[in-house]
A and B are shown apart, each in its own frame.
Chain A
């Protein structure tokens, strides 16, 4: 077992703590994130530490209860994009010439289309549903994963031990899953975690621009939506925007940090 770096431990603890607190707040409604108050847009004071929004709901409560949804969207849409990336990238590395070229050109095409714009266009044409967000983010971000996969896997497939096992008569799937994947997956970890950060960012940007899923008053919000709401009152009630902005930035920072540490580690192993 390698030594765990202190910052890695702090980052992982932060995420779990955030999720735990968030679920706790959503389920028990301490601070009642959903309850409407009598007065909207109160500035920070004793019973509402960060003030209230235009319907009199507690900002801190709303920000914390938004955490799990934001993180969930990030993790899920990144999982989809990694799955697609692997599904295209591995064949692109291992199939013979003709198919390989077709798959690589498809990857190239998707690399050329800007991710955010693709996500925006998709969320317009698919309408405002939660599933839209996942598909929009995954469609915009799978191509770099596929490119990385195909380059790495091609290198690993040329290593002696893989050639040896092929010579011993191992089947294609056995080679992929027993010999190539264990060598390849650790190098993918940095891409995955910093991709989660990117996905959380794209989701919040879409919500900020008003392109996310439905935005009814009672729904669990995401941070992007809270910031979007807050930005309408920025000059009258600047406290609205601070908590979601801080939590969003911190979370993205933490996921990026985990990615950096993982990348450091895999470089040192080489």
Chain B
């Protein structure tokens, strides 16, 4: 409970900062949003829309009180409520994020355990090298290379877009998005597994004559899932806020692409709304993680 109150305080601070960021820009924000060729009436319309004629603190108070009612203001470029635009894009992002996290956790845990069990040998070293490569490859490079190989050279997957629930469209974005988390999960799983396998109770279990498979998955694995869950939950939290690069390269109609279009159109209310949405999800993931940790370690 105390954790939740603290989280709300942190969120209010984050909203304050994000909100002020926009208006600390030199020049007139209304002018910037309206563009070079806007008429004076357009600009004054935007100004009243955003309460720019009030003082900064008053504006912040108004914004927060609206936020409490789930109202994030109106998008300048489309005239629709920001919260509606975000909610329209959320299902696509949710689908992409959960699928790629599923891929990442399954393959990350399996490879991580494999690496730990073959410590120092060729398999271990190649899995580790592979995971450093995945961590170091920027998301857009992964995306472009995947789409070059699978849709240009091999021609088996569509390059971009989303059509209903057609699974062919989600394969590449999901794998591209999962690549970094796979690498992180491999590392955490391997290191945890290695330190657990040296523990005395594992030696005891082995001495009882359980099969190696039972030792690893039943006894050792029980003690590594807290740190692994931490990686999974925090990464999922950041993906749920929209994976900008992946969604841009594959034209996936999610929140990341919405943010990019907001930026291109200089639609500040929308941009601000999406960043706040992101922060909220990330903080919630943190709370959930704390809750889980206290449960699992109790």
Residues of A whose CB lies within 8 Å of any CB of B are: 105-106, 108-110, 112-114, 116-118, 120-122, 124-126, 197, 201, 204-205, 208-209, 211, 227, 231, 234-235, 238, 241, 245, 248-249, 252-253, 256-257, 260
Contacts and interface: CB of A to CB of B under 8 A. Distances in A.
Interface of B is mostly: helix
* Most-contacted residue by chain B among A113, A231, A234, A235 (CB, 10 A): A113
Interface stretch (B14-22, B74-82, B102-110): B14-22
Interface stretch (B42-50, B137-145, B168-176): B137-145
B127 to A, nearest CB: 15
Contacts of B14: 109-110, 112-113
The 4 closest A-B pairs by CB, nearest first: A253-B136, A109-B13, A252-B136, A125-B25
Nearest to B260: A209
Contact of B275 (A108, A113, A205, A260): A113
Contact of B18 (A106, A113, A126): A113
Contacts of A252: 136-138
A118 B283 contact: no
Given A108-B10, A211-B263, A238 B148 contact: yes
B139 A205 contact: yes
Interface in B241-292: 241, 244-245, 248-249, 259-260, 263, 266, 271-272, 274-275, 278-279, 282-283, 286
* Most-contacted residue by chain A among B135, B136, B245, B271 (CB, 10 A): B136
B247 to A, nearest CB: 11
A110 B18 CA distance: 10
Nearest to A120: B263
A50 B259 CA distance: 35
B11 interface: yes
B152 A238 contact: yes
* Most-contacted residue by chain B among A105, A117, A252, A260 (CB, 10 A): A117
B238 interface: yes
B31 interface: no
B242 to A, nearest CB: 9
Contacts, number: 111
Contacts of A208: 138, 140, 245
A234 B144 contact: yes
Given A109-B14, A235-B152, A256-B136, A205 B245 contact: yes
B133 interface: yes
B139 A122 contact: no
A116 B133 CA distance: 21
Interface residues of B, number: 45
Contacts of B132: 253, 256-257, 260
B138 A209 contact: no
B141 A249 contact: yes
Nearest to A139: B21
Interface in B121-153: 132-133, 135-141, 144-145, 147-148, 152
A234 B146 CA distance: 12
Contact of A114 (B144, B145, B272, B278): B278
Contacts of B260: 209
A120 B244 contact: yes
12 contacts: A105-B9, A110-B14, A112-B283, A120-B244, A121-B21, A121-B263, A124-B266, A125-B25, A204-B140, A231-B144, A238-B148, A252-B138
A113 B17 contact: yes
* Most-contacted residue by chain B among A110, A121, A126 (CB, 10 A): A121
A151 B10 CA distance: 19
B141 A248 contact: yes
Contacts of B274: 117
Contacts of A211: 263
Contacts of B152: 234-235, 238
Nearest to B18: A113
A125 B25 CA distance: 6
